Structure 1
Amino acid sequence: MKSQWECLLQNLGEWQGSFTRFSPQGKLLDDVKSVVSLEGLNHNQTIRQVVSRQNQQDLVLEYSSLGRNVLFFENGAFSQGSIQLAPFTEFGAELGLIHDNRRLRLVQLFDKNGQLDKLTLIREHLAGTQLTENPPLQIDDLLGEWEGEATTIYPDWRSPDIIPTNLTLHLDESDRLIQSLNFAGHTITSTATVQNSIILFDQDPQKQIQVLLLPNGASATSPLKVQLRQSLILEVGWLIQPNLRQRMIRSYNDKGEWVSLTLVQEHRIKTY
């Protein structure tokens, strides 16, 4: 099993792409070209990271250890962000997926009142490799039955959990989305309204969950508002190929503590 540092090293290289900001309603605000380079120094004992964005000053970081707010999977996928939801403070996280020569990262930020405030989608490919851009995600791209495997890792370093998953998504007669998630002998069924690029799970008015359908096959899932004494998840999805999808879920308990990070890789076995 790789160490967390060895997992980080899967991200070495020069990543070319863009930072695209969206409103909480999915409106495109701006799109800025970017180059992010991660270089190993001293036999990869230190990482030098340079973030270059159009018309902005470069951000240069050097580090030789990882903070408590970040976890990596063996393929290099990762998440970093708040480890605790607290009153009157900003809250949020970055979730990063990786596949072959491409990365897809999503930053979700909430303001001091807990309202979803900013979304940034970062699409990247390794310099010198072919750029592949997937179409914007549509609801029809997700309908069907998906089978996969979920790997969950923990901030307290306990052993990972690996379980099979089964997800079905279909529209009923009134075009309401029905989602059934089966894992570890449990089934969770929920319903949502679909309006253009927004899927809203609105069964509980106190805990509405929004899924934004974004460019490059991406999706962003989060509460519209984070609240104390309520568990929550932040999720990014990436439709890499028509029948191959990755998802990453950062989970918080009802005390607002970050408790786990899950990476799901799933294949569509049936379409509806």
Structure 2
Amino acid sequence: MAEILIPNCSLGVPSNLLRLKPISSLKRGIPSSIAWKSAFCELKESSVFRTRSFRAQRGGIQAAATSSSVAEDDAKGAKEPMSIDNLRRFIDLNVGKWNGSFYQFDARGNLLQTVSTKLSASSYGEDELISLIQTLYIKQPPSYDEEPEWVEYKIKETNMFTVDKYQQIGFFPRERAFSLRYLTAGMLETIIRAGVLGEDDTGEEFPKNLKIPSKWPSVVCENCLYSLKNNTRARAFHIMDPKGILEMFIVFVEEKGNEEPVIASCNSEISDLPNRITPWLGRWEGHSVTKRSGVYGSTITEADTVAILKMDDKCNLIQDITSTPGGSNITTNVHWTGTISNNLITFDGGFQLTLLPGRMYMGCPCNIGNNVAKSQSFHLEFCWMESPEKRQRLVRTYDVEGQAVSSTYFYEIKV
């Protein structure tokens, strides 16, 4: 996944970090009010990423301790023979013909490109051999007087082998949400770079004036949320450059078996500040479910949550997130202050939110390289407010060895 986060170092890793030892233990918690774990640094060589681990130093936000041990969680997960069933449910959720659009945004949330897409997903095999096959069709710009061409790209199969080894899926069957981690740049190389954002033999970009992702991204993560009302879904990608700095966002908005859906007001013209931030302000109450990554998907914890976002008289943003695990009277609070500039909210903890059209936002650290240098981990977040009163959030958390250890789904109502 991650590769050269810090430049001018042997294999992309500072020499002082190479001497540090790994930590294998994990701490429980909710990603939005989490016990921050240590960061990771992974390297890529010949399209294969190698992982290096680092000694953890406790930093960031420490959540309240829980009574159940990690060993108990691991034992619980091992006793749940749900792997094949979860994989089958994941495949059933994705199977079908999806029509949609691909939106590319820069790191500040400005729309760069919109392209029509079609996705065909089917399955074959049974039990342990069941697999998901997906083919993406991308509409190419017409040349001269010719009709537009749909170019076909095969996506890596999903099966019992790939789902844990390469993709480390975080799946919520009931909530219809999932996260995927990409260990290689395959998605970029075969779909985005060669397809929508392909380059010709002379190295010129096509289409012109479009930002091309780095050939060796440090992080590529997909978060998918399904509509609460219909068969529409949004698949959002965080893409970090080799130094660990956010490079771009990609969002696929797709609907099963119908005409392509469109993100509301999805254009480069952004309304003025009060209208853009207003939908997110207020008090949001809900529930969260955190699951261990992997096809077994054992639940780590559930919690009742309250998220408050408000603006003071100096136009500074203040965010408070409170989490109370089920069966516990211990409440954890996370307090952040931040500033907003156009589409970008920057919090004092080194975390940023980028507001996107269609009442979406995506969150990530301002610089993953800094997290690595400080031996701190991070999380990536995608939020979709499908209606003014309801929203879903999906948070992906990584551990000290660069593994996507957990995913957390939030369902919240504005009160």
Identify the TM-score tier after normalising by the shorter chain.
0.7 to 0.9
Report how far residue 7 of structure 1 moved: 2.9
1:41–1:256: structure 2 CA closer, same or farther, 3 Å change rule?
closer
Tell whether the 8 Å contact from 1:96 to 1:104 is kept in structure 2 after alignment.
Answer: yes
| Corresponding residue of 1:193 | 339
Report how far residue 267 of structure 1 moved: 0.5
Distance in 2 separating the partners of 1:146 and 1:80: 26
Report how far residue 255 of structure 1 moved: 4.8
| Corresponding residue of 2:232 | 102
Q: How does 1:1-272 map to 2 (within 5 A)?
A: 3-42=86-125, 45-55=130-140, 57-61=151-155, 62-65=157-160, 66-68=162-164, 69-74=168-173, 75-82=175-182, 90-99=218-227, 100-128=230-258, 131=261, 133-135=263-265, 138-155=276-293, 157=296, 159-160=298-299, 161-184=301-324, 185-201=331-347, 203-204=348-349, 208-227=350-369, 228=372, 229-269=375-415
Tell whether the 8 Å contact from 1:149 to 1:162 is kept in structure 2 after alignment.
Answer: yes
Structure 2: gaps of 5 or more residues: 1-81, 141-149, 185-215, 267-274, 325-330
Tell whether the 8 Å contact from 1:219 to 1:238 is kept in structure 2 after alignment.
Answer: yes
Pairwise CA RMSD of aligned residues? 2.5
Tell whether the 8 Å contact from 1:11 to 1:76 is kept in structure 2 after alignment.
Answer: no
Distance in 2 separating the partners of 1:255 and 1:187: 27
Moved more, 154-163 or 124-133: 124-133
Distance in 1 separating the partners of 2:125 and 2:404: 32
Question: 1:169-224, CA deviations, whole angstroms, 9 ceiling, x for partnerless residues?
Answer: 111111111110000210111011012211111x24xxx21111112211110112
* Identity between Structure 1 and Structure 2 (%): 26
1:29–1:101: structure 2 CA closer, same or farther, 3 Å change rule?
same
SS of 1:30's equivalent?
strand
The AA in structure 2 aligned to 1:113 is K
The size of the alignment, in residue pairs, is 262
Report how far residue 135 of structure 1 moved: 4.8
Moved more, 46-55 or 184-193: 46-55
Tell whether the 8 Å contact from 2:107 to 2:249 is kept in structure 1 after alignment.
Answer: yes
Report how far residue 158 of structure 1 moved: 6.2
Kindly name which structure, 1 or 2, has the bigger radius of gyration based on alpha carbons: 2
Moved more, 89-98 or 250-259: 250-259
Distance in 2 separating the partners of 1:71 and 1:158: 7
Distance in 2 separating the partners of 1:106 and 1:54: 19
Question: 1:30-60, CA deviations, whole angstroms, 9 ceiling, x for partnerless residues?
Answer: 1111111212335793322111111263112
Question: 1:102-155, CA deviations, whole angstroms, 9 ceiling, x for partnerless residues?
Answer: 111111111221111121111111223794744569210011111111111112
1:147–1:8: structure 2 CA closer, same or farther, 3 Å change rule?
farther
1:14–1:82: structure 2 CA closer, same or farther, 3 Å change rule?
closer
Larger RCO (CA under 8 A, 6+ residues apart)? 2
Higher relative helix content: 2
Distance in 1 separating the partners of 2:94 and 2:340: 35
Report how far residue 82 of structure 1 moved: 4.6
Report how far residue 254 of structure 1 moved: 4.6
Distance in 2 separating the partners of 1:241 and 1:54: 30
Distance in 1 separating the partners of 2:219 and 2:313: 38
1:242–1:193: structure 2 CA closer, same or farther, 3 Å change rule?
same
Structure 1: gaps of 5 or more residues: none
Tell whether the 8 Å contact from 1:230 to 1:255 is kept in structure 2 after alignment.
Answer: no
Tell whether the 8 Å contact from 1:230 to 1:256 is kept in structure 2 after alignment.
Answer: no
The AA in structure 2 aligned to 1:67 is V
SS of 1:173's equivalent?
coil
The AA in structure 1 aligned to 2:152 is D
Tell whether the 8 Å contact from 2:101 to 2:260 is kept in structure 1 after alignment.
Answer: no
Task: State TM-score, norm by structure 2.
Answer: 0.58
SS of 1:58's equivalent?
strand
